A = this chain, B = another copy of it.
Amino acid sequence: MGKLDFAPIADTTRRAEIVVLLRRAILTGQLEPGQKLNELRIAEQMRVSRAPLREAMRELVQEGILTSIPYAGTFVIDVTAKDIDDAYSLNKVLDEFAIELTWRLRDRRFFDELDRRHDAVKQATRDLDTTRQIEMALQLHGLIHEWADNSVLLETWQRLASRLQMYFALHQRARKEPVPAEDIHETYVRLLKGSDMRAAQRHAREHIGLDFEELLAYARSLESKGARADRPGLPRERPGEA
């Protein structure tokens, strides 16, 4: 018999597809932070009943990009400057760890994949597709976490990456300027291919740091402008879990 091994076939449940649609809508900023998700309306738009929609929403709540208040509704999470700062500082720690784990596992396939993703970022940049640029940059950044061969680290990173994508998309959408044209990942990729692990770790911190500082400044400016009063019934605090 042939030694061909097939990949498992795709999920074909409505729930799974709904999750993909909703996640994309949130991460690209089509659904704004704090916005309420009306179940009936969304279910009708998607031509689906509320059952699979609600199950999908529960998944995204646990994924950390939605928040739910019983009998009040499910909302896109609010983005505070502190959230961004918290995510940023944890991200630094995880990156350092991921580089350490990945370092001895780097091989030809790793470098090829690194280049492939790097190219994807540059392509999206040329196309002026900001949304895709953000997504591809995070994919490039996520490679060290995928390669580290630590399932728990990878899960943690993916949860974090979801929020990062949302934050950055929000930021990009706010400032009208076009995308930065120069390639800010060049050094990052080069160091990951090199032989100085400490240098790579150090750069990962600082490189990410630059983007984040800008993002933080934006978030802080939003908050100093006072709480938004346009959307009524916003949850100011999420109820604690038992």
Chain B residues with CB under 8 Å of A152's CB are 83, 86-87, 90, 160, 163
Distance between A158 CB and nearest chain B CB, rounded to angstroms: 8
| A48 at the binding interface (Cβ < 8 Å) | no
A151 touching B83 in the complex, CB below 8 Å, given contacts A55-B55, A58-B59, A156-B90:
yes
Q: How large is the interface on A (under 10, 10 to 19, 20 to 34, 35 or more residues)?
A: 35 or more
- Is chain A's interface secondary structure helix, strand, loop, or mixed overall? helix
Copy number in the complex reads 2
Partner of A239, one of B8, B59, B61: B8
Is the beta-carbon distance between A150 and B89 smaller than 8 angstroms? yes
Q: Complex Cα distance A77/B183, Å?
A: 42
Q: List 19 A-B contacts (CB under 8 A).
A: A10-B239, A10-B242, A11-B239, A12-B70, A13-B70, A20-B242, A55-B55, A58-B62, A59-B59, A59-B62, A62-B62, A64-B155, A82-B151, A86-B150, A86-B152, A86-B153, A89-B150, A93-B93, A155-B159
